[in-house]
Amino acid sequence: MLMSKALFDQMPEKDVVAFNAMIDGFVKSENIGSGRELFDEMPERNIVSWTTLIDGYCKIGDLAGARTLFDAMPAKNLVSWNAIIGGYCQNKQPNEALKLFREMQSNSSFQPDDVTIVSVLPAIADLGAVAFGGWVQKYVRRKKLDRASNVCTALIDMFAKCGEVEKAKQFFDSVPDRETSCWNAMINGFAVNGHAKEALEVFMEMLQEGVKPNEVTIIGVLSACNHGGLVEEAQKWFKAMGDYGISPRIDHYGCMVDILGRAGRLEEAEELIRSMPYEANGIILSSFLFACGRHGDVEKAERVVKKAFEIEPWNDGNYVIMRNLYAKERRWRNVEEIEGLMRRNKARKEVGCSSIEIGSDVWEFVAGDRGHPHWKLMNWVMEQLQLHMKGDDDPLLA
DNA sequence: TTAGGGTTAG
């Protein structure tokens, strides 16, 4: 980067393209400040200069900065719309993303392309806005965007994350040339919806068709086994990874620790943590602690808890597990110790948040937010949903 | 000769 800046400074005549390339260089090396400075020094700017900088602000999570530029730019094109919409999607502001997606269609001459679709689908999944997702699917078909593999993958993923596995499978079956990522989305889609058997069936079909699995595939397979309590099946595929040229990453070990732990096979889980070629991270330790909590094993919990607190002092779950383990054994001094540590480290529960699609609107609800205008109605909806899940009559469909 | 994108455990 220093080298290219030196070269850039020596250029006798710098054109817009040179400036843009330099700004992009700064943005990609996470030096947005220098990029911004150069942008201010430019004698003339084009759409690319603005969009490069907007993307830079999105990548560092400064959506306000990105939005200010986006609103200020004298002319926009599809790429600049995609940059800001994608920015909101990736920074988990799905409502704002979809607002802009709609605005682009009503207030500009640009129509969503494959990039727009692929960035907006995860936002739809985040909100569980399946009706909107269905509209996107029709749009994709109409515009023949379903030839792109990443569009198909994103659609399968969206349906599955909205809980519509059948729709995901139906669409998956209609895709002619399925890349590894399509299979991954389907396997994982079944897994997250608790359909272990179906996930493994799709995986077998994938192998039979000669499609090469990758590390993401195995995460999906292990996740399916975890949901189905299939410990041996998980071990089998974990060991077989090498046969497919995949070396286990730390998150594969994490899955195995979680699977073994949930099954109460704490000794094996602990041994796996000890023997794996990675330093244990916070996720693995808290998953192991969770298993110790579930199976009432204070000793094993004590062996890792110090490190877990060290890595994730803010993780309230770890304190709660430890506190409860001690409380069960009436070790009140230890209970107090944990509670004191929790206060000192300022660990506290994050608030839960959910959303629901009603007609064409998406409402977000934060747990305990009684000031929400639709709080009473939401409570009623939750009651109806509970009845629905218990299998009683279904007033929602009445 | 420059800008935007999909699948990943709890």
Residue A16, domain CATH: 1.25.40.10
A39-55 pLDDT, tens digit per residue, is 999 999 999 999 999 99
Domain annotation covers residue A387: no
Same domain? A72 vs A32: yes
| pLDDT value, residue A349 | 59
H or E segment at A355?
Answer: strand A353-358
Rounded to whole angstroms, the distance from the CA of residue A12 to the C1' of nucleotide B3 is: 24
Q: What domain range is A169 assigned to?
A: 114-212
Q: Which nucleotide is nearest to A290 if distance is taken from CA to C1'?
A: B10
Residue A262 (CA) to nucleotide B10 (C1'), in angstroms, measures: 11
Q: Which nucleotides of chain B does any protein CB come within 7 A of?
A: 1-10
How does the average pLDDT of chain A come out, rounded? 90
What pLDDT was estimated at residue A352? 47
Q: Read off φ and ψ for residue A148, nearest 5 degrees.
A: -80, 130
Q: For residue A149, what are the CA distances in angstroms to A61, A81, A172, A175?
A: 28, 22, 11, 9
Please report, rounded to whole angstroms, the spatial distance between the CA atom of protein residue A180 and the C1' atom of nucleotide B1.
33
pLDDT (mean) for A56-67: 96
User: Could you read off the pLDDT of A17-41 as tens digits, one per residue?
Assistant: 999 999 999 999 989 999 999 999 9
With CA of A19 and C1' of each nucleotide, the nearest comes out as B2
**Residue A367 predicted with pLDDT over 50:** no
Residue A127: inside a domain: yes
Last-in-domain residue among A335, A351, A367? A351
End-to-end Cα, chain A, rounded Å = 64
Is residue A129 in a domain? yes
Mean pLDDT of A106-110: 95
Say how far A257 CA is from B6 C1', in Å: 28
In one-letter notation, the amino acid at residue A366 is V
Q: Confirm whether A296 is domain-assigned.
A: yes
User: Checking DSSP bridges between strand A361-366 and strand A353-358, what pairing results, if any?
Assistant: antiparallel
Q: Both A202 and A251 in a single domain?
A: no
- Let me know whether A11 and A59 are in one domain: yes
Residues A157 and A245 in one domain: no
Residue A386 clears pLDDT 70, i.e. is over it: no
A389 in any annotated domain: no
Q: What are phi and psi of A361, to 5 degrees?
A: -100, 150
The percent helix, strand, coil of chain A (3-state, each to 5) is 70, 5, 25
Number of domains chain A is built from: 3
Task: Give the pLDDT band of residue A296 (cuts 50, 70, 90).
Answer: very high
Nearby residues of A150 by Cβ (< 8 Å), 6 or more positions away: A114, A118, A181
Q: Are A248 and A241 in contact (CB under 8 A)?
A: yes
**Do residue A248 and residue A322 come from a single domain?**
yes
Helix (H, G, I), strand (E, B) or coil at A371: coil
Domain membership of residue A121 (yes or no) is yes
Residues A164 and A239 occupy one common structural domain: no
* Residue A368 binned pLDDT confidence (cut-offs 50, 70, 90): very low
CA distance A120 to A112: 10
Instruction: Please list, residue by residue across A85-106, b when 16 or more beta carbons sit within 10 angstroms of its beta carbon and e when fewer do.
Output: bbbbbbbebbbbbbebbeebee
- Nucleotide nearest A112, CA–C1', reads B4
Model pLDDT, residue A2: 82
A296: closest CA among A254, A272, A255, A329? A329
* CB neighbour class for A23 (10 Å; exposed up to 12, middle 13-18, buried from 19): buried
Does A82 share its domain with A118?
A: no
**CA geometry: angle A147, A152, A155, nearest 5 deg:** 140
Q: Give yes or no for residue A357 having a pLDDT over 50.
A: yes
Q: Are residues A101 and A153 in the same domain?
A: no
Please name the nucleotide lying closest to A251, CA to C1': B9
Q: Percent of chain A at pLDDT above 70?
A: 87
pLDDT per residue as tens digits for the range A126-152: 999 999 999 999 999 999 999 999 999
Q: How far is the CA of A228 from the C1' of B9 (A)?
A: 14
- Residue A351: the pLDDT is 47
Same structural domain for residues A267 and A319? yes
Pair A253, A278: CB distance under 8 Å: yes
Whether A228 shows a pLDDT value over 90: the answer reads yes
Res. A11: pLDDT tops 60: yes
Between the CA of A347 and the C1' of B5, what is the distance in angstroms? 36
Q: Tell me which amino acid residue A7 is.
A: L
Least confident of A114-123, A222-231, A327-336, A353-362: A353-362
Specify if A378 maps to a domain: no
Give the helix/strand (H/E) hosting A361: strand A361-366
Residues in chain A: 398
Per-residue pLDDT at A346: 84
Asked whether residue A266 carries a pLDDT value surpassing 80, the answer given is yes
